[in-house]
């Protein structure tokens, strides 16, 4: 059994209304996740055979707006990252959090149990040049490198074993002028499903939702939600019965385009598959890594 973990940056369960592009706009995957309910605060907990949907806490007992550096560290390590730092911090990990991402990440914990893991995202050379020059890595890339897992490059995209940040490869082709074809988001999902035959834990990151929330533009928001919807719908419907799909976020943002900042809203937790029961007691970001290990065991 594999656990497929899709981390979506900056999506909470907020108030319904015209400011909320994820609430009632007919995205098929979100409807499947919420059990046909609006994808907002009105949704009740869903707990059926192999299907769990519920809100979980991203504030972690600290005042202020949740941020990516602390939220993602909590999500990927289980530590109360904002409490360690004394505040919410981001977008990159605080220096006090880097040891946790290096030594106590979910990747390291999975490997210690003899399982294999992979980070599906690929990065263009310009990313490596910039990150290495400044020695500035995101939470996901820092924990991946620290676990001895190579970050995917254009060669992996061309080989069909990794996906780009926007899933369709369009930005790599049109903005970076790289030699990759444009694909449908479903094909990116198929690459994940193929790798699920070879690894126990797979992680995909989609951060464009957070960027769209900060931009406060409805067209932009739907432009990043459409491929995500196609990607998730394919995973939900085509994953093997014995595999478990996990989808969650680090903080709210996109669900409220009336503000440029993050929000205090809870974030959605969706689990589909036999490992869903392991997540029943998850109440916050910090509980997710332990539940992943329980699902794998």
84: which residues sit within 8 A by CB, 6+ positions away? 94, 96, 97, 100
For 3-296, CATH number out of 1.10.287.610, 2.160.10.10, 3.40.720.10, 1.25.40.20 equals 3.40.720.10
Burial class (CB in 10 A: 0-12, 13-18, 19+), 85: buried
Position of tokens 């015209």?
A: 18
Per-domain boundaries in the chain: 3-296
Task: Answer for the pair 39, 239: CB distance below 8 angstroms, yes or no.
Answer: no
| Backbone φ, ψ for residue 9 (5° rounding) | -75, 130
Return the pLDDT at 256.
98
151 DSSP assignment: P
Return the pLDDT at 26.
87
Please give the chain's pLDDT, 297 residues, in tens. Answer: 999 999 999 999 999 999 999 997 789 999 999 999 999 999 999 999 999 999 999 999 999 999 999 999 999 999 999 999 999 999 999 999 999 999 999 999 999 999 999 999 999 999 999 999 989 999 999 999 999 999 999 999 999 999 999 999 999 999 999 999 999 999 999 999 999 999 999 999 999 999 999 999 999 999 999 999 999 999 999 999 999 999 999 999 999 999 999 999 999 999 999 999 999 999 999 999 999 999 999
181: which residues sit within 8 A by CB, 6+ positions away? 169, 173
Return the pLDDT at 24.
77
Of 191, 172, 190, give the one whose Cα is nearest residue 181.
172
Task: Answer for the pair 53, 30: CB distance below 8 angstroms, yes or no.
Answer: no
């Amino acid at each position: 059994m594999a656990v497929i973990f899709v981390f979506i940056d900056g999506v909470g369960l907020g108030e319904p209304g015209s400011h909320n592009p994820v609430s009632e706009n007919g995205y098929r995957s979100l409807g499947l996740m919420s059990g046909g309910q609006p994808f907002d605060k009105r949704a009740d907990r869903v707990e059926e055979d192999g299907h769990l949907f519920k809100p979980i806490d991203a504030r972690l007992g600290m005042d202020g707006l949740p941020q990516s550096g602390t939220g993602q560290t909590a999500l990927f390590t289980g530590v109360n990252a904002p409490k360690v730092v004394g505040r919410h911090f981001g977008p990159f990990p605080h220096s006090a959090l880097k040891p946790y991402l290096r030594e106590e990440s979910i990747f390291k914990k999975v490997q210690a149990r003899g399982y294999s893991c992979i980070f599906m995202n690929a990065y263009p050379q310009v990313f490596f040049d910039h990150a290495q020059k400044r020695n500035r890595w995101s939470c996901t890339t820092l924990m991946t490198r620290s676990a001895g897992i190579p970050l995917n490059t254009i060669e992996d995209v061309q080989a069909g074993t990794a996906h780009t940040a926007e899933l369709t490869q369009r930005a790599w082709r049109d903005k970076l002028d790289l030699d990759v074809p444009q694909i449908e988001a479903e094909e990116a999902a198929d690459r994940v499903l193929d790798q699920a035959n070879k690894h126990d834990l797979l992680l995909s990151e989609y951060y464009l939702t957070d960027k769209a929330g900060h931009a406060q533009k409805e067209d932009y928001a739907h432009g990043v939600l459409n491929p995500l919807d196609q990607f998730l719908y394919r995973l939900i419907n085509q994953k093997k019965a014995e595999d478990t799909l996990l989808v969650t976020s680090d903080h709210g943002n996109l669900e409220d385009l009336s503000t440029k900042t993050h929000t205090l809203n809870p974030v959605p937790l969706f689990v589909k598959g036999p490992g869903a029961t392991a997540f029943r007691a998850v109440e916050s970001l910090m509980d997710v890594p332990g539940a992943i290990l329980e699902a794998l065991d």
